[in-house]
Amino acid sequence: KNEVEQSPQNLTAQEGEFITINCSYSVGISALHWLQQHPGGGIVSLFMLSSGKKKHGRLIATINIQEKHSSLHITASHPRDSAVYICAPLRGGADGLTFGKGTHLIIQP
Amino acid sequence: EPEVTQTPSHQVTQMGQEVILRCVPISNHLYFYWYRQILGQKVEFLVSFYNNEISEKSEIFDDQFSVERPDGSNFTLKIRSTKLEDSAMYFCASRQGVGNEQFFGPGTRLTVL
């Protein structure tokens, strides 16, 4: 049983399009990370949020703790946004993250 | 900007050998983690470490694995007798406190032959 489900698994879009990636999780959590992983393998934290909405530049993340759902949005997408985007809930305390399988995003010029 | 560092970037070893993967977390961080990612699969949690002891470990983290913070800066993952299935990218992460985000190192690619 997957604790974290992301959709879509793969997404190809044109430059400039508005992108939405969804994450649903089945366990109770204290917070959730959105992470970015490039082909070279490195992982970068984009957001950690426990309620509401956060915005960094063209990226927006929202979470609804009651509905166990989070979304990541990219406005005015660009080819450099091409990467794997991973949802990773945190159950609490010193616990480690539980990772989703990721969404493979390709933005075509 | 402070960052988590890991050495080596790539380690090749023979099956049955011991390996030590090293991490230097961000200096004022108190919580430390190891994760692994087998090629083509999702990232998996291995172990968390706080106050010089393991806080939580996954089923993957069996007796072949151990972690240590030998001094004030390094955080190591030791695999005593490597198996072919230990081949993966190993990521170290750290965070300052319970309510803070985790920062990841660049990873060590372990290849077991």
Residue pLDDT, tens place only, A45-80: 999 999 999 999 999 999 998 899 999 999 999 999
Q: Is a pLDDT exceeding 60 seen at residue A1?
A: no
Q: Give the pLDDT confidence score for residue B98 in this predicted structure.
A: 79
pLDDT bracket for residue B89 (50, 70, 90): very high
Q: Is a pLDDT exceeding 60 seen at residue B12?
A: yes
Q: Is a pLDDT exceeding 70 seen at residue B80?
A: yes
Q: Is A55 helix (H, G, I), strand (E, B) or coil?
A: strand
Most confident of A37-41, A43-47, A86-90, B88-92: B88-92
Q: Between chains, do B48 and A96 touch, taking CB under 8 Å as contact?
A: yes
pLDDT bracket for residue B1 (50, 70, 90): confident
Interface contacts A/B by beta carbons within 8 Å: 61
Strand order in the sheet with A69-74: A4-7, A19-25, A69-74, A59-64, A52-56
Task: Name chain A contacts of B110, Cβ cutoff 8 Å.
Answer: none
User: Which has more pLDDT, B84 or B99?
Assistant: B84
Q: Give the pLDDT confidence score for residue A108 in this predicted structure.
A: 97
Contact B73, B5 (CB under 8 A): no
Whether residue A36 lies within 8 A of chain B, CB to CB, comes out as: no
Minimum mean pLDDT among A25-34, B60-69, B100-109: which range?
A25-34
Bridge-partner residues for B109, per DSSP?
B10, B89
Q: Between chains, do B104 and A45 touch, taking CB under 8 Å as contact?
A: yes
Contacts of residue B49, Cβ cutoff 8 Å, sequence gap at least 6 = B31, B32, B33, B55, B67, B69, B75
Q: Give the pLDDT confidence score for residue A40 in this predicted structure.
A: 76
Bridge-partner residues for A24, per DSSP?
A5, A69
Task: Name chain B contacts of A95, Cβ cutoff 8 Å.
Answer: 48, 55-56
Q: Is A41 helix (H, G, I), strand (E, B) or coil?
A: coil
Q: Give the pLDDT confidence score for residue B103 in this predicted structure.
A: 95
